[in-house]
Amino acid sequence: MANELYKNIIQRLPSALILVASIIGILYLQNILIILALSMVVGLLLIKEWLFLSDSKVDLKQIVFFVTLIILSIYFAEGFVDLFLAITLIFWVMYSFYLISDKQLSLISFNNNYLGIFLVLGFLCGLTHLLIFSEFIGINKFFVLFIILFNTVLADVGAYLVGSSIGKTPLFPKISPNKTVEGLLGGAGLVLIFISTIYFFDFIALDFALASLISLPFAFVGDYFESQLKRDKSIKDSGSLIPGHGGIWDRLDSHIAVVPIFILLTQLLA
C-alpha cells in the first residue's frame, strides 16, 4: 500500500508542480484579461470533456458562441451573475440530497447535453464575478482566488493521503468504493486547520472564513458528481490532457462546485 501510494505521488508530482507554478505566475501578473482568457480556454476544455463523459453530440461552434455570450453578459450585467450563481447553488444542493438519500432525482439527467455546459458556465460566472465585480475590504481579490483554489486542492490531497493510508469505510460505495469516510475527514480537517490558521493571523475576515468552510463540503460533492459520471461510462479519467492527473475535469471537479457557491456566499455574508 505504501509503495503504491509513493508511486502515485511521484507520478502526479511533476504535473502538479507545473500547474501550481502556472497558477501562481498568472495570479502574480494580476491581469484580468489574461485570467479571463485562460478561463475561457479552460471552460471550453471542460465542455469538450463533458461531451465525452455524457456521450453528447452538441455542435462545438454553438458552445463557443454560448460561452462567449455568457461572458459578455456577465461583464455588462452584474445582476445576471448573482441569479446564475444562485441557480448553480440549487443544483449542487439537490445533488447533495441525491447522494445522501441514495435515490435518483427524476428532474436531473446526468446524460443531458447541456447540464455540463450549465455547470461550467456557473464556474466561469464565479470566476468572472470575483475578478470583475467583487471587492474585499483589506484583501486582494487575487489572493482570494488563490485561497479558493488552494482550499480545494488541500481537501483533495488530504482526502487522498488519509484515505489511501487508513481509509476503511466507504462513503458512497455505489459511486466510488475507493473514497472513504476517513479520507473525507482527512481532507476536511486539513482545510479547517489552514482556514483557522490564516484567520487567527488576520489574513482573512470572519465572513471569508465562514464562506470557505460552508462551501467546503461541495468540494467533495463535485468530486463525487464526476466519479458517478465516470463510473456510469466505465472509464478512469475524463481525458488525458494532464500526465498523471487525467483530464481538466478530473482536476477541477471540486472547483466547479465550490467557486460559484463560495462567491455567492461572500455576497450574502458581506
What ranges do the domains of the chain cover?
A: 2-269
Distance CA 186, CA 202 (A): 25
102 pLDDT exceeds 90? no
- Residue 47 is inside which H or E element, if any? helix 32-53
Mean pLDDT computed over 43-71: 73
> How does 179-197 read in b/e, with b if 16+ C-beta sit within 10 Å?
bbebbbbbbbebbbebbee
| Residue 186 clears pLDDT 90, i.e. is over it | yes
- Report the percent of the chain where pLDDT is more than 90: 17
pLDDT of residue 45: 83
> Comparing 233 with 217, which gets the higher pLDDT?
217
Whether 106 shows a pLDDT value over 50: the answer reads: no
Q: Which residue has the higher pLDDT, 14 or 128?
A: 128
Asked whether the predicted pLDDT for residue 5 surpasses 80, the reply is no
Q: pTM here?
A: 0.85
> Which range, 21-30, 51-60, 148-157, 243-252, has the best average confidence (pLDDT)?
148-157
Is the pLDDT assigned to residue 213 strictly greater than 90? yes
List the single range of 52-56, 158-162, 173-177 with lowest mean pLDDT: 52-56
Torsion sign (Cα): 111, 108, 39, 144: negative
| Alpha carbons within 13 A on the beta-carbon side of 95 | 24
CA distances to 9, 38, 48, 218 from 182, rounded to whole Å, are 19, 35, 33, 17
> Above 80 in pLDDT, residue 158?
yes
Nearest to 259 by CA among 35, 9, 65: 35
Q: What 3-state class would DSSP assign to 150?
A: helix
CB 56 within 8 A of CB 108: no
Distances (CA, A) of 126 to 57, 74, 207, 236, 239: 26, 10, 17, 28, 24
